[in-house]
Amino acid sequence: MDGCRSGVPTYEGDLHVVAAAHHIVKALGATKNLSDDLRKILIDLDSHLSMITSNIDSKGGRGLVDVEERLDLAERKIMRWETDPMMIWDSGPKEASDYLEAVDETGKLVDGLRGLSVHENRKQKEILHRAMNIFQTAMSRLEEELIHILVRHGQQFEPKNMYSRSIRKDIVYDESFVSVEDEPTKETSSQNCSNDESGECIVDLVHADVIPDIKSIAKVMFTSNYGPEFCEAFISVQKEALEQYFSFLGTENLSIEDVLKMEWTCLSSKMNKWTWSMKIIVRVYLASEKQLCDQVLGGLGSVSSYCFLEISKATILCLLNFGEAVAMGPHRPEKLLRLLDMYETLADLLRDIDTLFSEEAGSFIQLQFHELLERLGESAIAAFKAFRVAISSNGSLYPFAGGGVHPLNKYVMNYIRMFPEYWNTLNLLLKNQHPGVADQVTKPDYGPDTSLLTSCPMAYHLRSITSCLESNLHKKSQLYKDEALQHIFLMNNIHYLVQKVKGSELRLFFGDEWIRKHNAMFQQHAMNYERATWSSVVSFLKDNNPGSSSMSKSTFKERCKGFSIAFEEVYKTQTSWSIPDPQLREDLRISTSLKVVLAYRTFLGRNLAYTDDKCVKHTVEHVENSLLDLFGGSSRSLRNSRRW
């Protein structure tokens, strides 16, 4: 600026030069894409030139008088607000622009006087001192106005209807194996704010109408070297607004110790909340905050990203710490789906994070996100392994009453039914995880129908899980003393397994071959059951001498009695057994009927001569009807209902 310090020009010619220069500087200043430094230089130049102009008119002393008059005017405009209880920007645009004009004028005078101060003129020094004083008052006031505008026009938005996970159900792993199947499923479905998960939804955190006001304050403060004050004020208000929003979302700061000690149901809901808050905070709030920073501080180099980082850092770290705490917690199987949710959310947000914190100063945050993602992935794998271990080590001391579908089976199948929704993530995470030597059997021996899905890593692991489950169920079946019940149990459970696979997207991963194989398996158990139960009963009805026309009456009586006792025994035991699936129950009854009723009818038909006898306790119809009572799950007796 030394070039401008040439003092006060004394002759006419200068006037034109200065005026022309002034004109050029103004024109240049209006250019949009100027670097900050250049703009600053132009502004300085502008104020110097106007100072020179004001002095040219009226050489020396009178120039200062002019300056003083201008300062008086500006001072009146600035100082009157110091006693006014109203905020300037609340009072109207005219007031605001008047004020800014006065500030601008004072700034120019300060700069100009400073440029002239080489003359060591005492009067001039005094005026400069006064101007600087007024200027400080104005700057302090602008800071105050800024805070007021930000607070008053700050807008909160409703987080509802945003980013809820679509149709995933909340299933809570219950170690007491209470069935989760019949519980009403909490469905948390709703729409995203823009109907597009990946779409940006930016809201106005501060009302759009006041953005120009904030910008004008920013402009004045930055050009006057009060940028740091502007940043401090701006950051503090916006930071607090973010924190308020954070607690408005119902998210609270938790220590790692708290999280590690938390009960599962509570932790589960916190994990859910985290997933949801993370999305809203990053994709909506921070994206909007970034936009606000850019709008307000756009032309000021790295200032915008500095402010953005300062505003968001603490809240981000808080969210990250919860993630860290969850990831380091015990790897319980029930955590798997929640962990996958968190993992997917984070993986999904990485791009946003990398954009939001693209500057060097933000790389710290970026890094923390990437680290957490890795940790969550590890934790999810650990939970996945724990899930398998929990399945194979689930032991029982007593047989499961009735031989129905075991709760472990229900739990596992309902749980893994969710996996296909996460298959991309699971495939990624499980890629390098081997299901284990013991599970070599699960390698697909599928022929030509091997599709991409049945041979993906998740499919291997799914089959490995069900094979763990099957061998556990086999172990559980050994607890029954009754061989027939063992078969009922396995039939029920394998049937259930197959149904669950067939009725969900799991079928794509298990493949038709697996389904065929398992269909055959439960059918085999049904046949084994029939053999185990009914062969001995039906043997009473068998004709030992197929050649002769009929047996003796005593033999008939004996056979009849034997059949009745055996049938009643079966009736009594097997009415308490259970086949929960109505279709399966129906099928088994029909095939049993076919075998037993047919044999009984033939038996009676062949010995028609004795059938009026009292020894025929049960009619064919009666036997047929009684068979319908089997597998109802509650024990009945024929003995009491009929005379003997």
| Nearest to another protein of 149, 588 (CB atom) | 149
What is the rounded end-to-end Cα distance, in angstroms, of the chain?
A: 124
| Nearest to another protein of 200, 252 (CB atom) | 252
User: CB burial class (10 A; 0-12, 13-18, 19+) of residue 189?
Assistant: exposed
| Nearest to another protein of 56, 128 (CB atom) | 128
257 near another protein, rule: CB under 8 A: yes
| Nearest to another protein of 323, 420 (CB atom) | 323
Q: Tell me the closest approach of the beta carbon of residue 138 to another protein, in angstroms.
A: 10
Strand partners, 154: 206
Strand partners, 169: 187
386 near another protein, rule: CB under 8 A: no
Among 172, 210, 254, 479, binds another protein (CB under 8 A): 254
369 near another protein, rule: CB under 8 A: no
Strand partners, 206: 154
Question: Per the structure block, which two tokens stand in for 277?
Answer: 């808050």
Segment interacting with another protein (CB under 8 A) among 25-33, 184-192, 240-248, 472-480: 240-248
640 near another protein, rule: CB under 8 A: no
DSSP 33: S
- 147, amino acid identity: I
**52 to 91: interface string for another protein, x by CB under 8 A:** ---------------------------------xxx--x-
525 near another protein, rule: CB under 8 A: no
236 near another protein, rule: CB under 8 A: yes
Segment interacting with another protein (CB under 8 A) among 8-16, 42-50, 121-129, 450-458: 121-129
**Taking every pair of C-alpha atoms in the chain, what is the biggest distance, in angstroms?**
153
Among 116, 128, 214, 526, binds another protein (CB under 8 A): 128
DSSP 206: B
Segment interacting with another protein (CB under 8 A) among 317-325, 423-431, 476-484, 590-598: 317-325
Among 42, 67, 162, 237, binds another protein (CB under 8 A): 237
| Nearest to another protein of 23, 125 (CB atom) | 125
Crossing angle for the helix pair 363-393 and 407-416, nearest 10 degrees? 150
Contacts of 567 (CB under 8 A, 6+ apart): 537, 618, 623, 626, 638
User: CB burial class (10 A; 0-12, 13-18, 19+) of residue 84?
Assistant: exposed
| Nearest to another protein of 327, 494 (CB atom) | 327
120 near another protein, rule: CB under 8 A: no
315 near another protein, rule: CB under 8 A: yes
263 near another protein, rule: CB under 8 A: no
Strands (E) located in 98-165: none
Among 79, 201, 203, 318, binds another protein (CB under 8 A): 318
95 near another protein, rule: CB under 8 A: no
Question: Is residue 32 a contact partner of residue 41, using CB atoms and an 8 Å limit?
Answer: no
Question: Per the structure block, which two tokens stand in for 495?
Answer: 């049937």
314 near another protein, rule: CB under 8 A: yes
239 near another protein, rule: CB under 8 A: yes
Q: How many residues bind another protein (CB under 8 A)?
A: 57
Question: Per the structure block, which two tokens stand in for 603?
Answer: 């038996």
Cβ density class 460-478: b for 16+ within 10 Å, e for less: bbbbbbbbbbbebbeebbe
Residues, the chain, total? 644
Question: Is residue 352 a contact partner of residue 282, using CB atoms and an 8 Å limit?
Answer: yes
d(CA 25, CA 17): 12
Contacting residues toward another protein, per CB under 8 A: 85-87, 90, 114, 117, 125, 128-129, 132-137, 139-140, 144, 147-148, 151-152, 225, 228-229, 231-232, 235-237, 239-240, 243, 246-247, 252-258, 260, 313-315, 317-318, 321, 324, 328, 361, 364, 368, 371, 375, 393
